[in-house]
Amino acid sequence: MGTINALTIYKDLPKLNCKKCGMLCMPFAVELMKKTKSLEDCPPLMEPKYASNLEKLRALLKPMEDATDTGIVLNEDVCDGCGVCVIACPVNSRFSPECLSGKAPQVPVPEDIIYVLEDGRCRIKSISQCRRYVPPKTNCRICEIFCPRYAIEIKV
Ligand code: SF4
Ligand code: SF4
Ligand code: SF4
């Protein structure tokens, strides 16, 4: 699976800039990426003449269905529970300094911790403080880069 960006989405929109979705086509592509709009919000795209565009866009956006609001997809079947993401994510360290020294988050686990291990697998506990989400947003990809099993993918 590759990275999805607004330009790739835009390419297959009707590009009429008719604002029937409430905005121009490019901002609409961005909203699709953020999952705040759906393909059905573009009436022209539902017309038969755009059927192949619709099909392509549905296939393109499919991986986003399982993604967090910040575009993270965690494949629990591939994860081997190594815990690298737990100690590498800067948000985990911020809310539980134990992670900075390579340990599991303190107990009870703070509410805003992102990655935790449960039953030998990684789980996303909360995404509300992810640096990709909280202003000033950054293009943080630390968890994706450091996961040795490629179990974490950031789709946007
Ligand atoms: S409704 Fe569709 S074609 Fe019209 S501006 Fe929005 S995205 Fe573009
Ligand atoms: S993108 Fe950055 S802040 Fe967000 S979960 Fe991954 S490592 Fe943590
Ligand atoms: S770094 Fe990857 S393999 Fe290791 S626990 Fe996290 S998701 Fe699983």
Give the ligand whose atoms come closest to the C-alpha of residue 17.
1
Q: Candidates 3.30.450, 3.40.50, 3.30.70, 3.30.43; correct CATH number of 72-154?
A: 3.30.70
Ligand 1, pocket-test mutation among 9, 11, 17, most atoms within 8 A of CB: 17
Q: Pick from 48, 53, 51, 70: which is nearest to 127 by CA?
A: 70
* One fold for 6-66 and 72-154: no
DSSP 85: H
CB 109 within 8 A of CB 116: yes
User: Given phi > 0 = left and psi -120 to 50 = alpha, else beta, which region is 130?
Assistant: beta
Rounded to the nearest angstrom, the gap between the alpha carbon of residue 1 and the centroid of all alpha carbons in its chain is 13
Q: What is the pLDDT along the chain (156 residues), one digit of tens a residue?
A: 456 788 999 999 999 999 999 999 999 999 998 888 999 999 999 999 999 999 999 998 887 777 777 789 898 889 999 999 999 999 999 999 999 999 999 899 999 999 999 999 999 999 989 998 887 888 899 999 999 999 998 877
Instruction: Please identify, in words, the CATH class of the domain defined by 6-66.
Output: mainly alpha
Residue type (1 letter), 9: I
Parse the chain into domains and list their residue ranges.
Answer: 6-66, 72-154
